[in-house]
């Protein structure tokens, strides 16, 4: 519960905090009108039973407004009783509606903080993260955290209501009320002591199983071709069934733990009421039906209120591990202000030279260096080929050149600007505005080919239409469009499953070129193309975009003839070699 309160205090806006405060105030008003309804039953039953009613004989009435007097009768007391119940009920409806909207707004706010903060983090952060854990947080654990915020509000309402009802019962008969409350408190204390560790363990198990379920689902959908070929349906479905059954069983256990005290208490409460009536009878006050009825009504209100406190507590307790995950994610994804140099803002679009001086990189402190004292100087408009064996550091070098990874040693210059020191976040973000990138595995959205090439803010002016036609031609996308049912408006399927690898790479090239950036990075971006198509596209890019600076990782030596210079990597060391072409 402490972690939940920390989330509310640390990550809510002032507006949402005020909304929560209003919710807490509404709980107090709801509880006060509940007390008024309980209290107003006494004069009503008195008149209904033909008895006289003296408010002075009941101490609580001295604390309430003087709404009862000796001139009242059955009808007026009945109206007051009914009105107080109706108003208390309406106030509760308002409370639950307001709380629903408040928790919805809080949920939307926290979800946006997590999602926007996560995708805004630097590339190095994402390299070290487990995406399955993030998916679990955004799809499941955030919802559970918001549910627990609602439970927290319910717990507060129930606690205030229970306190006022207990106050009513004590003012009616202190000894008997304290005895009954002591019995109920002991019962719930005994239950809490026995289930608190189980709640934490069950919640932790559900979290682990959910993460495994998401991991399995991603693997199954991503590797569906291999599953079909290898006919491994049964192993996947059996594993999924085991995970899912484990989750459902533990959820059922939590539901049982949260609800069983209510049924167990019914027998205890009835026994307490019967015992109280017998004691009253022996004490000679059995005829005071008004007070007995009020006590019974108050007890009937108290039992579900205590159960609500317990149920809310079990809901929060069982989700503590998941709430902690959400808070840790909120902390790690908290947006950081980008420090901007006071001297000047900068635009690298018209850069003249890229220079790496003694650049080194390792993915973690003390680990082996991937790059070691690399020195490179590239002029604007040059086409640079990058070759080397698998694991030699080619992709790491390209990630540094794209401003995705901050070198762990050396200096990274754009013209005369040192960008990898104090203002790395600002400089690297400005540098990335100059870059287009085509990876070996092109990611495509489950939308049309056109939607995967252009941005949503693409204006369909005559000039932009010509640009689109140009990149479709340069990337040879036009060659396969006629074979599709809906031409450029054909849906590509999830991650482009309806297209071949070469078609996806051509779409990726078109998308990169239409952005009109001064630098293009091809990380095996043509590897799935046949030799003829690959040559055509690379030649067209040189001719159509002569001023474009290109970095191209390739394992095909024939592609080097389109490069002005060739860099070779071996064991993290870069050296320039003579272009064999």
Closest to 413 measured CA to CA, from 425, 427, 399: 427
What pLDDT score does 343 carry? 67
How far is Cα 355 from Cα 555, in angstroms, rounded to an integer?
24
Q: Where are the domains of the chain?
A: 2-332, 348-577
- Within 10 Å of residue 303's Cβ, how many Cβ atoms? 18
Which regions in the chain score pLDDT beneath 50? 55-57, 59, 61, 63-68, 70, 286-287
φ/ψ (deg, to 5) at 358? 55, 45
Topology match between the domains 2-332 and 348-577: no
| Angle ∠(427,430,435) on CA atoms, nearest 5 | 120
Class of 2-332 per CATH? mainly alpha
Residue 202 phi, psi (nearest 5): -65, -40
Task: Report d(CA 332, CA 311) in Å as an integer.
Answer: 31
φ, ψ dihedrals at 528, nearest 5° = -95, 0
Q: Which pLDDT score, from 0 to 100, does residue 286 have?
A: 47
H runs (alpha helix) in 319-347: 320-332
Say what the pLDDT of residue 287 is: 46
What is the token pair recorded at 211?
A: 């993460």
Q: What is the pLDDT of residue 297?
A: 67
Tell me how far the alpha carbon of residue 479 is from its chain's centroid: 42
Q: By three-state DSSP, how is residue 54 classified?
A: coil
Q: What is the pLDDT of residue 57?
A: 47
**Three-class secondary structure of residue 457 per DSSP:** coil
Classify domain 348-577 at the CATH class level.
Answer: alpha beta
- 358: its two tokens: 């003694």
pLDDT digits 0-9 by tens, 469-510: 999 999 999 988 888 888 889 898 888 888 888 999 999 999
Structure confidence at residue 352 (pLDDT): 92
pTM assigned to the model: 0.77
Distances (CA, A) of 399 to 3, 394, 396, 427: 38, 9, 5, 15
Residue 182 CA to residue 176 CA, distance in Å, equals 10
Cα–Cα distance, 560 to 553 (Å, whole number): 10
Residue from 164, 159, 202, 181 nearest 314 by CA: 202
What pLDDT does 521 receive?
Answer: 94
């Amino acid at each position: 519960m402490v972690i939940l309160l920390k989330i509310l205090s640390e990550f809510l806006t002032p507006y949402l905090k005020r909304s929560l405060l209003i919710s807490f105030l509404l709980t107090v008003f709801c509880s006060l009108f509940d007390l008024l309804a309980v209290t107003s039953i006494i004069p009503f039953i008195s008149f209904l039973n033909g008895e006289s009613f003296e408010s002075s004989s009941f101490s609580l009435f001295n604390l309430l407004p003087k709404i009862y007097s000796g001139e009242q009768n059955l009808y007026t007391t009945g109206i007051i009783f009914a009105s107080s119940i109706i108003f208390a009920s309406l106030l509760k409806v308002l409370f639950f509606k307001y709380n629903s909207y408040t928790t919805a707004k809080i949920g939307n706010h926290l979800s946006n903080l997590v999602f926007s903060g996560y995708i805004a983090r630097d590339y190095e952060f994402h390299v070290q993260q487990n995406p399955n854990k993030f998916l679990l947080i955004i799809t499941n654990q955030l919802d559970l955290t918001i549910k627990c915020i609602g439970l927290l509000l319910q717990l507060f309402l129930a606690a205030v209501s229970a306190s006022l009802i207990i106050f009513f019962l004590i003012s009616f008969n202190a000894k008997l009320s304290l005895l009954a409350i002591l019995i109920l408190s002991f019962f719930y204390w005994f239950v809490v002591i026995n289930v608190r560790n189980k709640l934490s363990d069950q919640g932790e198990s559900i979290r682990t199983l959910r993460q495994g379920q998401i991991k399995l689902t991603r693997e199954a959908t991503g590797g569906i071709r291999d599953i079909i070929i290898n006919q491994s349906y049964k192993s996947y479905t059996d594993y999924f069934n085991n995970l899912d059954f484990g989750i459902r069983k533990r959820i059922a256990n939590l539901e049982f733990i949260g609800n069983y005290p209510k049924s167990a208490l019914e027998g205890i409460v009835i026994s307490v009421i019967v015992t109280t009536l017998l004691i009253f009878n022996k004490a000679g006050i059995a005829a005071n039906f008004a007070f007995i009825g009020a006590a019974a009504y108050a007890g009937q209100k108290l039992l579900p209120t205590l159960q609500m406190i317990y149920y809310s507590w079990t809901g929060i307790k069982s989700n503590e591990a998941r709430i902690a995950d959400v808070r840790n994610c909120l902390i790690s994804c908290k947006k950081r202000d980008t420090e901007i140099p006071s001297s000047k803002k900068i635009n690298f679009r018209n850069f003249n030279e890229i220079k790496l001086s003694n650049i080194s990189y390792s993915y973690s402190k003390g680990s082996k260096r991937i790059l070691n004292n690399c020195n490179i100087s590239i002029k604007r408009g040059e086409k640079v080929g990058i070759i080397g064996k698998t694991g030699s550091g080619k992709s790491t070098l390209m990630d540094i050149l794209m401003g995705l990874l901050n070198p762990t040693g050396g200096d990274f210059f754009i013209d005369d600007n040192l960008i990898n020191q104090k203002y790395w976040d600002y400089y690297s973000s400005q540098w990335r505005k100059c870059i287009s990138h085509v990876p070996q595995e092109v990611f495509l959205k489950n939308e049309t080919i056109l939607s995967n090439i252009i941005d949503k803010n693409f204006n369909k002016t005559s000039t932009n239409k010509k640009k689109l036609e140009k990149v479709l031609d340069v990337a040879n996308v036009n060659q396969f469009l006629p074979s599709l049912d809906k031409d450029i408006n054909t849906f590509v399927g999830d991650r482009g499953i309806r297209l071949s690898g070469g078609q996806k790479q051509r779409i990726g090239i078109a998308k990169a070129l239409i952005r009109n950036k001064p630098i293009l990075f091809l990380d095996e971006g043509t590897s799935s193309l046949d030799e003829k198509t690959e040559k055509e596209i690379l030649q067209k890019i040189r001719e159509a975009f002569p001023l474009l600076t290109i970095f191209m990782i390739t394992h095909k030596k024939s592609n080097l003839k389109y490069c002005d210079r060739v860099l070779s990597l071996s064991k993290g060391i870069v050296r320039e070699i003579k272009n064999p072409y």
